[in-house]
Amino acid sequence: MDLDRLAHLVRAADAAGISPFVRVPEVDASLIQRVLNLGTEGIVIPHATEDNCQALVQAVRYPPQGTRGACPIVRATRYWPEDWDEYAAAANREVIILPLLEDKDSIDGFEALALIPGIDAYFVGPYDLSVSLGIPGAAFDEPRMSEALDRVLDLAKRHGKYVVTTVGDRQERAYSEDMIRRGVHGLVFATDALVLLRACVRLRAYTIP
């Protein structure tokens, strides 16, 4: 979507007390700065690698932790911070970076990713991962998917990182509870379109013989 539309969604999230995260297509420092200047509180990057994660940390953080450009007259600062150093320190501390682990290489190389300073959480994307493993559509109760998730959870715990994933089309309480028991720290339920589709399928089953 374009930045004008994104700005409306960020304002709506703020008004509802929701922290808005934005998935950018790649580590483009100029684009990331414009997205953050709107007041975005988290940046998501697809297909995490050691190189793009390190570059993302630099793009998101103000100096001296990174290279994010400093402009005080933007929405994120409420158009003029009373104390720039205080604002920049808060932004560096509070803006969340969430790389997507969604292919076999990301899983195999996760320990190197977990050692990168400035990244506290990682999102395991099941559908892309299942395609990468040659088992499209498999969930985390499939053995190879389960092994991949357990590897990430084990290394994340060892290095003090958080793990987030999604239930996708497995909109079942038992499946969600199993993810939490295994150590997942956060769950994305599903996309709005998929939630509606599943609800319609269930409703049809209840009402049409």
The overall pTM is greater than 0.75: yes
173-195 per-position pLDDT tens digit: 999 999 999 999 999 988 889 88
From CA 13, how far away is CA 40, in angstroms rounded? 9
From CA 112, how far away is CA 120, in angstroms rounded? 13
- 119 has a pLDDT exceeding 80: yes
User: Please, which pLDDT band fits residue 209 given cuts at 50, 70 and 90?
Assistant: low
CATH of the domain at 55: 3.20.20.60
Question: What does the pLDDT read at residue 205?
Answer: 86
52-90 per-position pLDDT tens digit: 999 999 999 999 999 999 999 999 999 999 999 999 999
Q: Are the C-beta atoms of 32 and 59 separated by less than 8 Å?
A: yes
Distances (CA, A) of 62 to 59, 65, 79: 8, 6, 17
Average pLDDT of the segment spanning 124-151: 96
Domain count of the fold of the chain: 1
Question: What are the beta bridge partners of residue 186?
Answer: 164
Structural domain boundaries enclosing 144: 3-207
